[in-house]
Structures are given as C-alpha cells and as structure tokens.
C-alpha cells in the first residue's frame, strides 16, 4: 500500500529564517531603549534637543578659546570663547598656594611619598613591608611640608616606641602596672624628654629643612593635607566611638552618644569657627598652636562622628550569631572585635565609609570661610584681581573638575573594593 510509504513527518530541518529586521541590531536597540512608547519618544526627543543645545553653547566656547593672555580683556580680544589663560597663569597658586617657589619640590615629593604610603593600604598586591613606611610617613610628610628639624617629629613618633618598650618590660612583673606605666611613659616622654633629646640630636646631626609657616599653605595641596589627615584619623576614631556606642558600659555609651549626636547636630562651619576663634580659650593661657592643625582636629572629630554611625550600621547589620560564635570560641572582647566582628562589619559598611571620606574631602573647601587659602579661597582672590575681574566659568570649572576627579576616583575605588571582597554566592 502506497499510503504506508507516505511520510507525514518532515525528516530534515528547515533552514533557520533571519529574525525580522526590527528585532535585531541597532533597530531593536533603538526601539527598546529610545522609542518604546510615546512618552519615551517625547523624552528621547527632548533629551536630544537638550544635548544639542548644551553642545551648541559649549563646543564653540571650549574650542574658540585662548591660553595666552595676561588679562581677561586681552582674552576677549583674542577669542570669544573660554579664557584658559587664567588657569595657565594661576595654576601653580591653585596647586601650592603661596608655598615658596624654590621649595615646591618638597610638596611634590611628599605627595609622591604619600601615594607610596597609601598603596599598601589600598591594594593587597603591594608588598606588606611597605606598611612600615606608611607608619613612618606622617613624620616624614610633616617634616617635608613644614620643614624645621626632623628630630622633633621623629622623637614624637619615638614616644610610641618608648611606651611599647616600657609596657613590654613591666608586663611580666605586673599586668596592671604595665597598663598604667606604658601610657604614662609616653606622656612623660612627650612632655619632658622629647624636646631636649631632639635638641641634643639636632646639635649633632642637624637634619634641617627651611621652615615654611602655615600661612603659606594653600590650593589643592592644602585640601589634600587636611583631607588625607582627616581621613586617616577619623576611621580609627569612628570605630572606637561606634564600639563605645554599642557597649553595655552605661557611662561610656552615654559619653559616646552625646559626642556623636552633638557633632552630627551642628554644621561643620560652627566647628571651624570653634577652631579659628574659640579653641585657644579652652587651652591654658598662652598656648596657641597652628591653625591648620586646629582645623585638622575639628575636621577629624566631625568626620569621626559620621564614621561612627556608619560603622554602627555595619555592626548592627551583622547577624547576632557572629557575636555568639565569637564568645563560644572563648575569644575576649578585643580579639572577637579584631578577628570576627570588625572585618565583617567594615566590609558591609565600605560604600558608606567611602562616601563619608568623599564628604570629608569636599568639606575641606569650608576652610575658605575661616580665611585659609584653599582653591575656593584663592578663586575669590583671583577674581578680585583687576586682571581677572569677571572671570567665572573657567576658574570654577577647573576647580570643580579637580574635585570631581578626586571624589569620583574614590567612589570607583570603593566599588572595586566591594567587588573584591564579595564573598556571597551570587
């Protein structure tokens, strides 16, 4: 029977058809992303119009510009667009402030050394031995920037070594005595011994650099000095405050909560007023110390209160079981914090820690209000100069761009760190 031979099922595959033109490539992408409905189409057209307008205004301004002129009016004669000459003339000031020109290599060198010192903290690929350099950098950086004798700051640093030595020496005899004698030795060293010893050593080997007073500091180097010091000290202080706030010791907790809430409740500018006009009132009559140091102290205290809240958020997010497991392993409070709690809590709070850092770095501009010459303070001075009177976009654009580069790279780094420390199974 012939019907038996007939097959109703196709035995070979048909060749695949091309997808419709509108479902592939650029056409599909355009349809889905730009013209997927009438609202979206309107939005797309509006945005394109906006971009066109911005480019139409800015491109001629940027390209029809001049770098060579001595004043704004001269600029306007040469080209109708941007007057970059102001940046060309003033960029050393915007970077270094009034730091003596022949000594600027010291600022550059300390900036490079700072990068070296930060590297082992930021990236795990860098040799760990460099951390010793990181610990020594504050002294070296201070010496390079402010000048004077190296022995002073070095002996101040040595105080910690003296304290550790005394503690280690007495500890076998009596734990309590060591706990008291260690810090006491540091204080005594700083108050009584550090100065004479430094003087004695300087008499032998005078490691002198020409001193530069704080009033000469300015520009982005000042912002970086305040920002980096504040960042370096606010994290440990913030962690301690967060632990204090979480602690079950009532008085410690009350002090920490009071401090954090007070600092978070007032604007930074009032604290800077304290630094500039009030701090000397709170010290014994006759003492007066450097304005940059005062500002750094206040900025650090300010940032540490915010940092404490960020770290507390991380601590709170940690499951209760982690604390109990640490207790079950028989770890004491500090060991548990160091080995189990903090690594996890800090990892959770990385994004917020970095945004606090970014906030701190941006807040360094506030020092212009109390008269320090950071880039913003300098911009006011430049605009008051008769040559550059009336310049706006170029100057502020340049400063904004510099801040943007710093802050944006910090936030990119935090994203990198988050990815690197990601241990979840997603």
Partner 1 sequence: MTAITDPPKETFRLSMLLYDTRYRSLTIQVIALICFMLVIAWLVDNAATNLAALGKPLSFGFLGEIAGYDINQRLIEYNSQMTHGRAALVGILNTLLVALLGCITATIIGVFAGVLRLSNNWIVARIMSVYVEGFRNVPVLLWIVAIFAVVSETLPAPRAFRGDDATAHMLINDSVALTNRGFYIPKPIFESGSMIVVLTFILSIVGIVFFRKWAKARQEATGEIMPVGWISLAIFFLPTLFMFYIMGRPIVLEYPELAGFNFKGGIHMRNSLIALWLALSLYTGAFIAETVRSGIQAVSKGQTEAAGALGLRGPRIMRLVVLPQAMRVIIPPMISQYLNLTKNSSLAIAVGYMDATGTLGGITLNQTGREMECVLLLMLFYLITSLAISAVMNWYNAAVKLKER
Say whether residue 25 binds partner 1 (CB under 8 A).
no
Least CB distance from residue 293 to partner 1, whole Å? 18
Q: Torsion angle, CA of 275/276/280/282, rounded to 10 degrees?
A: -40
Write the CA distances from 286 to 136, 178, 282, 289, 413, integer angstroms.
31, 34, 11, 10, 45
- What are the structure tokens assigned to 391, written together? 């310049």
Q: Smaller CB distance to partner 1: residue 105 or 282?
A: 282
Stretch that binds partner 1, among 9-17, 134-142, 148-156, 356-364 (CB under 8 A): 356-364
E strands, 143-283, in order? 148-149, 208-209
Q: Smaller CB distance to partner 1: residue 48 or 329?
A: 48
Say whether residue 23 binds partner 1 (CB under 8 A).
no
Say whether residue 403 binds partner 1 (CB under 8 A).
yes
- What are the structure tokens assigned to 89, written together? 């003339």
Distance CA 61, CA 76 (A): 12
Which residue in 9, 281, 320, 424 binds partner 1 (CB under 8 A)? 281
Which residue in 365, 381, 387, 417 binds partner 1 (CB under 8 A)? 365
Burial class (CB in 10 A: 0-12, 13-18, 19+), 50: exposed
- Name the region of 166 (left: φ>0; alpha: ψ -120 to 50; beta: rest): alpha
Say whether residue 357 binds partner 1 (CB under 8 A).
no
Say whether residue 32 binds partner 1 (CB under 8 A).
yes
Q: Smaller CB distance to partner 1: residue 55 or 112?
A: 55
Short-list 146, 298, 112, CA closest to 222? 146
Distance CA 211, CA 194 (A): 20
Say whether residue 283 binds partner 1 (CB under 8 A).
yes
Stretch that binds partner 1, among 104-112, 132-140, 151-159, 279-287 (CB under 8 A): 279-287
Burial class (CB in 10 A: 0-12, 13-18, 19+), 250: exposed
Say whether residue 249 binds partner 1 (CB under 8 A).
yes
Say whether residue 255 binds partner 1 (CB under 8 A).
yes
- Report how many residues bind partner 1 under the rule CB under 8 A: 59
Expressed in angstroms, the distance from the first to the final Cα of the chain is 62
Residue 149 φ/ψ, nearest 5 degrees: -85, 140
Least CB distance from residue 299 to partner 1, whole Å? 13
Site string for partner 1, 285-304 (x = CB under 8 A): x-------------------
Q: Smaller CB distance to partner 1: residue 89 or 374?
A: 374
Q: Smaller CB distance to partner 1: residue 24 or 270?
A: 270
Three-state secondary structure call for residue 209 = strand
Say whether residue 416 binds partner 1 (CB under 8 A).
no
The residue whose two tokens read 């402010």 is 146
Burial class (CB in 10 A: 0-12, 13-18, 19+), 190: middle
Least CB distance from residue 163 to partner 1, whole Å? 18
Which spans of this chain sit near partner 1 (rule: CB under 8 A)? Answer: 32-34, 36, 40, 43-44, 47-48, 50-51, 176, 248-252, 255, 261-262, 264-270, 273-274, 277-278, 280-285, 358, 362-363, 365-366, 368-369, 376, 379-380, 383, 390, 392-393, 396, 399-400, 403-404, 407-408, 411
């Amino acid at each position: 029977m012939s019907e038996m031979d007939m097959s109703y099922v196709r035995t070979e595959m048909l060749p695949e058809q091309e997808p419709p033109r509108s479902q592939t490539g650029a056409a599909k992408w355009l349809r889905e992303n730009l013209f997927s409905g009438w609202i979206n189409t309107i939005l797309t057209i509006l945005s394109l119009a906006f971009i066109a307008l911005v480019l139409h205004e800015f491109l001629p301004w940027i390209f029809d510009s001049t770098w060579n002129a001595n004043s704004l009016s001269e600029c306007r004669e040469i080209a109708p667009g941007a007057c970059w000459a102001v940046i060309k003339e003033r960029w050393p000031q915007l970077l270094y402030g009034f730091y003596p020109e022949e000594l600027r290599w010291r600022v550059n060198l300390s900036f490079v050394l700072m990068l070296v010192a930060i590297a082992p903290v930021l990236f795990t690929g860098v040799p760990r031995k460099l951390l010793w350099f990181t610990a020594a950098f504050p002294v070296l950086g201070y010496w390079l920037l402010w000048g004077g004798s190296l022995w002073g700051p070095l002996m101040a640093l040595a105080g910690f070594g003296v304290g550790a030595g005394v503690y280690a020496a007495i500890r076998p005899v009596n734990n309590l005595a060591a706990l008291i004698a260690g810090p006491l030795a540091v204080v005594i060293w700083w108050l009584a011994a550090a100065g004479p010893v430094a003087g004695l050593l300087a008499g032998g080997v005078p490691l002198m650099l020409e001193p530069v007073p704080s009033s000469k500091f300015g520009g982005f180097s000042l912002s970086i000095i305040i920002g980096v010091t504040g960042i370096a000290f606010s994290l440990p202080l913030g962690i301690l405050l967060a632990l204090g706030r979480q602690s079950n010791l009532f008085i410690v907790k009350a002090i920490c909560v009071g401090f954090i809430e007070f600092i978070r409740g007032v604007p930074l500018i009032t604290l800077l007023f304290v630094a500039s006009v009030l701090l000397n009132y709170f010290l014994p009559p006759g003492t007066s110390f450097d304005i940059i140091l005062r500002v750094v102290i206040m900025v650090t205290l300010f940032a540490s209160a915010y940092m404490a809240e960020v770290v507390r958020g991380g601590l709170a997010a940690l499951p209760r079981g982690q604390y109990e497991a640490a207790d079950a392993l028989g770890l004491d409070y500090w060991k548990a914090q160091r080995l189990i709690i903090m690594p996890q809590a800090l990892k959770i709070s990385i994004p917020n820690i970095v945004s606090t850092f970014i906030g701190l770095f941006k807040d360094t501009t506030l020092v212009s209000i109390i008269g320090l010459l950071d880039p913003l303070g300098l911009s006011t001075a430049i605009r008051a100069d008769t040559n550059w009177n009336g310049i706006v976009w170029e100057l502020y654009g340049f400063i904004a761009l510099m801040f943007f580069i710093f802050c944006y790279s910090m936030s990119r780094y935090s994203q990198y760190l988050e990815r690197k420390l990601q241990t979840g199974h997603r």
